Each structure stands twice: as C-alpha cells, then as structure tokens.
Homo-oligomer: A and B are copies of this chain.
Amino acid sequence: MRRIKLLLAYEGTRFAGWQTQKADRTVQATVEAALAKIHGHPVPVVGAGRTDAGVHATGQAAHFDTDRDSLPAGRFVDALNGNLPHDVRAIKSEEADPDFHARFQAVLRVYRYYIYNVPIGLPHLRHYTWRLRPRLEIEALNRYAALLCGRHDFTSFTASGDPAESKVRTIQTSAFSRQGDFIVYHIAAPSFLWRMVRTIVGTIVDCALAGTSEADFRRILDARDRLAAGRTAPARGLFLEEVRYGEAGEKKGNNDEDDEDDRK
C-alpha cells in the first residue's frame, strides 16, 4: 500500500461541506466515489480541513492509501478528474510517507475571506463573496484584526456547538487588504475552531460599521462567550487556500491543545 497526498479545489456551493454525512452531497463522499471507481473497491480519504457547507477550497489537502501499484502518483490527478463532477478538481497528487496524515500533520491552515464591497455586485461573483453595500475602511478593520494575532481563547468566536475541549488557538496572520472592489481577509493558524473564521469576519464587520472601540472589541474576545460577538459571515465568501506541512519527520505540526477541530 502506498499513501498518496492530494491537492483539491472545489466550489462549495452545492456541497453540504467536506465531511461525509448520510444522504448529503459532500466533497469527501464525492472524492471517495471517484477513488472507488478507480480502485474497484472503497478507498477512504482524509482531508486537512473540514470545510462547512458553501465554503470553497483552492488548496484543500488530503490523503488516501492505494493498492494501484503500477499507477505513478502524479497520474491520480487525471484519473480522478475523469471521475469527478466539475465542481471538484484534483490539482496535484504525489507520493507521501506511509505515516503522512493530511489532518494531524498540518502545521498551518490559510484561509481567505472575500467581501465584495459594492452597492450592486456582478451576479457572477454571488457564490464567491459576501456583498456588503456600506463602504468599509481597511484601517478600521485592521485595528480589530490585529488584536486577534497570537495565542487567545477564542470561545467568543466559535459556534456554540464546537466540541473542542480547549478553545485556545494561535493566530499567525490576521489582516485585511483592499483589492479593487474587494476586501480580502487573510487569516492563518495551525488550527481553527468551528466557524471561527466566519464569526471573526462577521464580528469585525459589525464592529467596523458600529464604530466599536478597540477596548470594546477586546472585551468581546475576553468574554469567552459567543453571545458577546457579532454575526457569522456567510460561508460563500470563505476559501481554504493552503494547508502547510512541516519538514519530513516532524511528527505533529499542530501545536494547539486540540487538534481535532479544524473546522470553520
């Protein structure tokens, strides 16, 4: 058995998220169906990030084990794309160590959130952005965003159903930038809590529109209470862009307390 590392891109619009749930159309089940066709038997796939319904990926990482010994690792891309629906694409496939684990060995997860800051948006972008009419100021957004960098308890910024024991996470990057009509939020961390990125974006936007002081924003974080924060930004603006892995041999890259919850 060989282990193959996979890079995937998908449009989340018509998926009930990554993780297989009975009856729903999920990315994991869709990729596993394609792998089953290639192998002639079921092949489980493990993804790095369990993206929610409607969330997109341009760089989801995953792994699976194969008994197709004669197929070069790189050829799984074409084999998969020949069996996948058009809203999922395999971008890259390569040989991995037998103990490589797409989820547990990820050392950094990079997300981008796209706000389309216009009164009326092009319909072509409606599934890929959160359109917001009031003009947002980058400086204001970044004053809040900077306060989230580093190690904090993010209880205020996770959906109440999150089962993770510890809500402490370490944010490496948290910054907004304006790109034409778009405001792009770039956030990177070893792992995230459930709906954390979307709750952060929704709350920061609410605070920017209300003119909340930095001290009051800090109080939201300190409250460790989801009710203290603002709305959850819609899934459609969120993209899992990259999952980074450490050097070979680095056993457990996820340096937070709980590596079980990498959901957004």
Using a CB–CB cutoff of 8 Å, the interface residues on chain A facing chain B are 9-11, 56, 58, 77, 81, 86-91, 120-124, 126-128
Q: How far, in angstroms, from A121 to B87 measured CA to CA in the complex?
A: 10
Instruction: Give the residue of B9, B90, B122 whose beta carbon is less than 8 angstroms from that of A89.
Output: B122
**Chain B residues within 8 Å of A81, by CB:** 120
Q: How far, in angstroms, from A9 to B123 measured CA to CA in the complex?
A: 7
| Minimum distance in angstroms from A39 CB to a CB of chain B | 21
Given A10-B123, A77-B120, A86-B123, list of 6 further CB < 8 A pairs?
Answer: A9-B122, A56-B124, A81-B120, A89-B123, A91-B120, A124-B128
**Chain B residues within 8 Å of A11, by CB:** 123-124
The residue of chain B having its C-beta at the shortest distance from the C-beta of A78 within the complex is B120
| Minimum distance in angstroms from A151 CB to a CB of chain B | 33
**Chain B residues within 8 Å of A122, by CB:** 9, 58, 89
| Minimum distance in angstroms from A36 CB to a CB of chain B | 21
With a 10 A CB-CB cut-off, give which of A11, A90, A122, A126 has the most chain B CB atoms. Answer: A122
| Minimum distance in angstroms from A232 CB to a CB of chain B | 21
**Chain B residues within 8 Å of A127, by CB:** 124
**Chain B residues within 8 Å of A126, by CB:** 86-87
The residue of chain B having its C-beta at the shortest distance from the C-beta of A124 within the complex is B11
| Minimum distance in angstroms from A59 CB to a CB of chain B | 10
Q: How far, in angstroms, from A124 to B77 measured CA to CA in the complex?
A: 18
Q: How far, in angstroms, from A86 to B77 measured CA to CA in the complex?
A: 34
Would you give 5 A-B contacts (Cβ < 8 Å), ordered by A?
A9-B123, A9-B124, A89-B121, A91-B120, A124-B127
The residue of chain B having its C-beta at the shortest distance from the C-beta of A7 within the complex is B120
| Minimum distance in angstroms from A134 CB to a CB of chain B | 15
